[in-house]
Structure formats: C-alpha cells, structure tokens
Structure 1
C-alpha cells in the first residue's frame, strides 16, 4: 500500500482580465497532470514503486514544457499589442476607404480619380445591399468633392451605408470602372492579422486597405 502524499506546489498560469489566460486553459493542464500523477501513484506496483527521481523528472519535464508554453503566449500577446498600438492611435480620425461608409446629415468627402483619357465620368452610388440608388455625371476632373447624398429627384437619400464606383468612358467605350475612396470616422481598431478598422455605422476594412488619414473636418 502506498501512503498518501501531499500534492507538490506547482506554478499556475495567471488568470483574469488582461492576462490573456483563463482557469480553463493552462491551469487546467496542471490539474490534469496532478490527477494523472496521483492515479499513477495509487496504481503502481507495490513491489516496484516509482522512484523519487522518476517522480522529480516527470514533474520537472512537465513544468519546463508548461513554462515554455506560457512564455510563448506572453510573447504573442506582447507582439499583438505592439503591432496594434499604431492603429489604436487612429481611433477618432477619418480614414479614406473604399468600403461602404455611413452617410447622415453631413456631406461625405470622396476622392475622385477618373481614367485620364475619359471624356465622360459618372459617379455611381450603391446602398449597403449593393443596389444602385443614384448615378450622376461629374465630369473628368480629379480631386476631392463633397457628396451630399441626393437621389435622381433631388431628395436626400436615407441615412445609411453607401459605397461608390466611378465609370470612366470615352464616347461609348468604358475605359474603367473603379471603386471610389470616401472618408469615414474610425471608432474601433481590432488587432491581429494586420489589424482591422471599424468605421462609424458599423462597416469595416483591413488597416492595409486604408490609403489616407486626416483629422475630422
């Protein structure tokens, strides 16, 4: 018969807000190890009991592997925070994006860049579902314009998300159909996988697709 032994004191993983770990994660692995070790001790051959050195080796091996896993997780967490700290500073600014943007009472700033050989340029507006709601001739000029969100009858379009494309033509020939960048206010920055920005109104885009930033007008 094997006498009961006190469970060894093992390091446990940090848990709680801000640690990136939970009691169901690394700490649970330690508990599983203790359960398995206790069962091994209870069921070992009394004529050939496990030596103290074997016990110490098992304990040290597991503790070492677990400590390495903890170190790797902390490094990943730190890397994510460092990589995301840049885009976190963008919150509150306006970003130029080709994702659908929120239109309310204030005009939107659009960046217009038609094909250089175009003699006719039409701005096409689509709602969040991709349905065309407006089309207007704006001429071949290049630069920023204020879009006031008027339908073909001159009435203001409902508040909501809108996306824009530019159709550049020369005569009857379509030279280019390009997406138009619009400025939208950033309300959230999501870290990981290069970062993602969430705009006012709920639309979002990868940080890598933002082509310009500015302070709110």
Structure 2
C-alpha cells in the first residue's frame, strides 16, 4: 500500500497589483455620481448638506464592511492552511470512521457496538451498488472485530468498496440496524468545500471532523 503526499492549495488574499481594488473603483463611481448630483440639483431647491453627509457615511460603512469581509476571507484561508499542516501527521495512520471500507484481501478492523439488550448481532455487507452480498454472525459484545471479507458462501469477495452495518437482535426481534465504524489507512489529506478531507485506501473520502479515532498501523507499531 502506498502513501500519497498531502495536497494543499493556498491562494493569495491580496488582488493582483495590476488590478484596481473593487472598493476603490466603486468609490470613484460614487464621487462622480455625487458630483453630477450637485451640478444638476435644482438651484431653487438645493439638496440639504446633511443629505451629502448621510450618503458619505453610508458609503463609508459599506467600505468598512467590504474590507472586513476581505480580512475574514484571508483569515479563513490561513486557518485552512494551518489545519492542513496539523493533518500532516495523520497521513499513514489508520483512522476510524463511519465510511465504506475497501476490501482487497486484508482483514478490515471494525468497532462493534450492538444495541443495549441485544443477545445476537449480524454483520450486513452490501456492495457499492447497495446489493446485499453477505450476512455474518458476529460477537454480541462491544469491541474490535476483524472482518475477513467473505461472501454468503464464505468465499473471498472481489476487491472493492463495501458498506457495513450491524443488526442487533433480542431473540427474533430486530432491535435496530446501525452503521459500523471501521479502520482504514489515510493516504492523503486535502482541502475541500466542506473542510479538510481525508482520502482512505481505495479512494474513499471522509471529512476529518468525522474521524473518531486514530492508531498506528500494526506493521509500523513498535
């Protein structure tokens, strides 16, 4: 299994030196309109000077808000870069989250959490199209469990992404079905529209905020 480098995208908060700031352009337009308004006012009914002051104050407020928004956008970009640098240490580790798993023959470690009162539990496996491919009895005790990736007949499943869920039973009564958290190696971290995104083995993506645990892979432990 390979590990990709972290992908980061940084953008400059300042506009190109050759481009005129939008707020300055708007202010020039405002001054031209104000001058035209003064030149074309009715001499018998001139505009009150307080109206000019009000217009200037209003534009000044808009200008300050625009500058504040620019600063906030710049700060947001800097915070995103900082978040990516903090995620640098995550690449290569195994993350636990509710996400599809990639089966390529290696066992997948998951966290079983049966419903309270359950006396049996069944692991439900569906392929990428949502078709049921396996139902497997698993321990009813909460804890880690290694799924070997077998189909209903016990034969190895083809390599691919699979969705896992856990059905909890009390006797013959289904208490509920819930997604399962599983471990997978992080191979990449990058920024996305919704925040920092982690790419797991098989190209499976999950938001960093959805990660509930991290661990060093057994092969690297010690």
TM over 0.5: yes
**1:201 aligned partner:** 202
Q: Deviations over 1:46-67 (max 9, x none)?
A: xxxxxxxxxxxxxxx9x99987
For 1:25 and 1:172, the matched residues in 2 are separated by 71
Alignment of 1:54-203 (within 5 A): 71-186=71-186, 187-190=188-191, 193-203=194-204
Q: Is 2:20 aligned against 1:19?
A: no
81-90 or 150-159, which moves further after superposition?
81-90
Displacement over 6 Å in runs of 4+: 24-34, 63-69
SS of 2:203's equivalent in the other structure is coil
Greater CA deviation, 168-177 or 201-210? 201-210
RMSD: 3.9
Return the alpha-carbon distance in structure 2 between the equivalents of residues 120 and 78 of structure 1.
50
Higher relative contact order (CA 8 A, sep 6+): 2
Cα distance, 1:193 vs structure 2: 3.8
Contact residue 91 and residue 189 of structure 1 kept, 8 A: no
Instruction: Kindly state the Cα deviation for residue 188 of structure 1 after the two structures are TM-superposed.
Output: 2.2
Q: Equivalent residue of 1:164, what SS?
A: strand
Looking at structure 2, the residues matched to 21 and 125 of structure 1 have their Cα atoms a distance apart, in angstroms, of 50
Report the TM-score when normalising by structure 1.
0.68
Q: How far did residue 106 of structure 1 move?
A: 1.2
Structure 1, unaligned runs of 5 or more: 1-16, 38-44, 46-60
Q: Is the 8 A contact 1:93 1:214 kept in 2?
A: yes
Say how many residue pairs are matched. Answer: 195
* TM-score for both structures, normalised by structure 2: 0.66
What is the Cα deviation at residue 32 of structure 1?
A: 9.9
